[in-house]
């Protein structure tokens, strides 16, 4: 299987399909690059080189105890891009992956002229946690509860989380297979990585990263996102970037699935080609 090795010796798994302008996908928590299987085929079929990696501690990447923080995630993404010598890259990040691609693009990709565009979907930037400077955020008790649930019974927690992740609890048509695959990917995460990543996605402030972006960014999100509230994320992020396009999907959940997935993929491809 294809792996790259980071500077601190961690093996990162990736999938690489198709030819053309590279589109690199970063997945959400607690998933893996398998969450992008549909996109890998669709974008390769559309004439792109589609690449997705498993974040450290997730999927088939090394089950790490150290480095489960956003700065290291961005360094790992840089290692993938540099090892494959990718240029003119379009970065696509979902949820936690949205934070990862924004930080990488702001701190690595632009200076090296690696990145041409960024896409986020249901992404965690600018900041999820409620602070004095971010009074509209979610209180720390929400994230403490997530950590406690992951530690106590992660298997049941993934099953429960799949309901709101895909909006099944709000009446969306979600197959048992989609829910089961969410659970399957979640069970591949190293427990320490899953636990520590909660801090990474909730407490990392991406405000300055968003302000530093000079490349175009498409900020997409469903208005029924129960995991990352749209008022704390997309609506705030679009005000911080220099060259942003906001796309809101009525009734769409956090998870990229069903009709939301079909429309989002179509819109991203058209935006890149446009």
Q: Which of 225, 232, 233, 237 is catalytic?
A: 225
Please list the alpha-helical segments (H only) found in 105-175.
140-165
- pLDDT at 112 (0 to 100): 65
254 is catalytic: yes
Q: Which of 32, 33, 61, 95 is catalytic?
A: 95
- pLDDT at 109 (0 to 100): 75
- pLDDT at 61 (0 to 100): 98
Sign of the dihedral through C-alpha 271, 127, 248, 183: positive
- pLDDT at 15 (0 to 100): 98
- pLDDT at 119 (0 to 100): 98
Which parts of the chain register pLDDT below 70? 1, 111-112
- pLDDT at 13 (0 to 100): 98
Alpha carbons 226 and 250: distance in angstroms, whole number = 13
- pLDDT at 82 (0 to 100): 95
Q: In what order do the strands lie in the sheet with 49-53?
A: 3-5, 11-17, 49-53, 22-26, 89-94, 115-121, 217-222, 244-249
CATH number of 3-273: 3.40.50.280, 3.40.50.1820, 3.40.50.620, 3.40.640.10? 3.40.50.1820
- pLDDT at 1 (0 to 100): 62
Region of 47 on the Ramachandran plot (φ > 0 left; ψ -120 to 50 alpha; else beta): left
- pLDDT at 111 (0 to 100): 64
pLDDT per position as a tens digit, 112-135: 679 999 999 999 999 999 999 999
116 is catalytic: no
Q: Which phi and psi (to 5°) does residue 35 adopt?
A: -65, -20
């Amino acid at each position: 299987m294809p792996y790259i090795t980071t500077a601190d010796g961690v093996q990162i798994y990736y999938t690489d399909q198709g030819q053309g302008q590279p589109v690199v996908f970063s997945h959400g928590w607690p998933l893996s690059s398998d969450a992008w299987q549909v996109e890998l085929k669709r974008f390769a079929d559309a004439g792109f080189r589609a690449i997705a990696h498993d974040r450290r501690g997730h999927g088939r990447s090394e089950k790490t105890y150290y480095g489960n923080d956003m700065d290291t995630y961005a360094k790992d993404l840089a290692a993938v891009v540099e090892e494959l010598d990718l240029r003119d890259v379009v970065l696509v990040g979902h949820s936690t992956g949205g934070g990862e691609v924004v930080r990488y693009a702001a701190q690595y990709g632009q200076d090296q002229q690696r990145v041409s565009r960024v896409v986020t979907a249901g992404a965690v930037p600018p900041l999820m946690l409620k602070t004095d400077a971010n009074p509209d955020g979610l209180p720390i008790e929400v994230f403490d509860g997530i950590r406690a649930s992951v530690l106590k019974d992660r298997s049941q927690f993934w099953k429960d989380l799949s309901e709101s992740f895909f909006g099944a609890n709000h009446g969306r048509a979600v197959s048992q297979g989609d829910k089961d695959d969410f659970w399957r990917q979640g069970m591949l995460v190293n427990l320490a990585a899953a636990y520590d990543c909660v801090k990474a996605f909730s407490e990392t402030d991406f405000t300055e990263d968003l302000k530093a972006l000079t490349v175009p960014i498409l900020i997409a999100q469903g208005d029924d996102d129960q995991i990352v509230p749209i008022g704390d994320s997309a609506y705030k992020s679009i005000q911080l970037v220099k060259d942003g396009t906001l796309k809101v999907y009525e009734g769409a959940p956090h998870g990229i699935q069903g009709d939301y997935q079909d429309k989002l993929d179509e819109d991203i491809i058209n935006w890149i080609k446009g």
